[in-house]
Structure 1
Amino acid sequence: MEVIHMKSKNIKDIAKLAGVSYASVSRALNNKPGISEETRKRIFQICKQEGYRINTTLKNSSENQNRMIGLIIPDIKNPFYSELAANIDKYSHQHGFTILLCSSSSNDQKIEDLCKMLITSNVSGIIIATSHDSSYPHFNYSPCPIVYIGDNDGTAQGNFVSTDNYYGGYQGLRYLYQLGHKEIIYFGWHENSIAHLNRLHGYQAAAADCNISERRFDSTFPYSSIENGYLLAKKLFNTEENFTAIFAASDTLALGVMQAAEECGLHIPNDFSLLGFDNISYSNLPKINLTTIEQQKKNIAETAVDLIMKNSKNQEEPKNHTHQTFRPELIERFSCRILT
């Protein structure tokens, strides 16, 4: 159903007047299960009193539900998320769905506002790819299925699709160690991200298994970007730290390291080896050739869309939440060298 606003009051006002949640109003207006018939009638009566008019030109059936999937990503400029969105869009289109793309700017309140907007747009489901863990618990009330792309520490409810970041962190350190490196800096870890924490834990476990010291250069920035990687690398190069390899927490950070190294007259991999994480498309450019840990973006995207399609068809069945993970793969290029 489409709700046409006839007065200045919004659905939050309707929810307050009815003494129910925002989600209950959405369920009532879209004829979704989850509320009593008495509450539904009361909400419709308040809508009528406040000037809401229900557009009855759309039939209230699953066949006429908008074939749209809402997609919320933290930053459209971040190559990993833009490439992930492209994969989601391509696969959704193959199945007759259109993507409504939103950028949250890594702001939790904006994510919640975008979710509410998408719910009132009667989307078939919402995919949330977020770099901040605090975004996860807020949307258990949603009348439409939600799938999170990211790690779950076990405290959040819902469907999750993610990379095995612990394995990726472990794999990266082991690779550099096998090349002969022992002074390996894990570069750019930041707080509020389970994915980044799991990568760090994998690195730490591999360092312990290889009997080498853990070396870290943590980020003071709330998210990863080329610019933040550049600024952080400039700080590192101005210290007395000795290292033969840098394992960057993301490819964007690694690209920033490359920029800073060039300005400082350092050559990769002659002066130090550099390993990234994500395998964004930039990593394979001729002048970059970054060795990296590849996230399976295509598999992650298709699995998230499949979960939306499956759960949108079976909304009245009991919810059995799932967490599907994909192991990352090492992509060898030319930014790492064997120590002799």
Structure 2
Amino acid sequence: MSSHPHSPAETSSTSAQQPLVPSLSVLDLLPVRTGQTTAQAMTSTLELVGAADRLGFTRYWFAEHHNMPAIAASSPPVMIAAATARTERIRLGSGGVMLPNHAPLIVAEQFAALEALAPGRIDLGIGRAPGSDPVITALLRSSGPTADVEQFPQHVREVIALMSPEGATAQIPGRGGARETYTVHATPAAVGSPDVWLLGSSDYSASLAAVLGLPYVFAYHFAGPNLERVLSLYRDNYEPSERFPEPRTFLTVNTVVAPTQAEAEERALPHLRQMARLRTPAPQRPQETVEEALATPLDGVAEQALDAMRPRWVIAEPHRAAETLTQLARTHGVDEVMLVPVAGSYESEPLDSTPGRLQTLELLARALRQEMAPTAT
């Protein structure tokens, strides 16, 4: 076991950098480690948002998960609103809002308000999964028919219409039982509306995105075997829309970058073990420190799960990581790669900062720019 070897790479600047090639973005689960409070985890995430903005990343999304001791990402709109005050150019969004957990009008109102706060910078990524265990799912979906998963396609259409400047129409019973038509707006005077993306890893989400003419995100960070087939299904069946005349895709990938391969492997271990435990009946807990992960062996089932996940992750020193992500984008023809920066922390690192995750973004941005720099003749 090594001691805490590095502080974040000193590559940030106060001014915005040019966009990265390939186009890179960030998906944040708001990890919470041993001894860390929710407030400290959020403080560290907002530091990371500011760095991504300065370093030239394209967008920064927040996930939705519930009742998980290692993840504080339960309310994407709240984190997006906080991030608008810390950034200037980067797009901000959800990865994603789990729509069956919410009434479409509420989602539309939240994201219409965010669009007004940061015009032209808001993404609404939508998913169909619950984002939690059955008990929490039951609590979230206790509101009746608005929580019907079977209505997911219609609810997506409703959210899009409600956020638009034109609004949506609704029919409700009027006097005498006759149905009357009303116009409903998510916000009184919208100028524009957020970009809507569908998220998933299955034929269902890809097919729906194709039919609706929406961009599509493949959740490669937790599902990999179906990637090529699902992307082909989406592209082959895509129906152009006014906003998106061509199919657009990107994929998410768990990423840890450090000055050395040895440090990257150590920093990857806490999240690898956390994900492996999700496949077992073991109780969940805050994310381990690197030292805790190195000191405690997993059982056989969890170890097998870890070994199965490991090949889809990018765990490397900067130039190798840059090459791997660039090749991943080329191989699958995606427009963008969204990193899930999952580097763990050493016990000596401050609780209100996330040096390993910050280092991942900074080192990767530097490596990509060095590869883009013209060769001296």
Give me the TM-score of the superposition, normalised by structure 2.
0.29
RCO comparison, higher one (Cα < 8 Å, 6+): 2
Give me the TM-score of the superposition, normalised by structure 1.
0.31
CA radius of gyration, larger in: 1
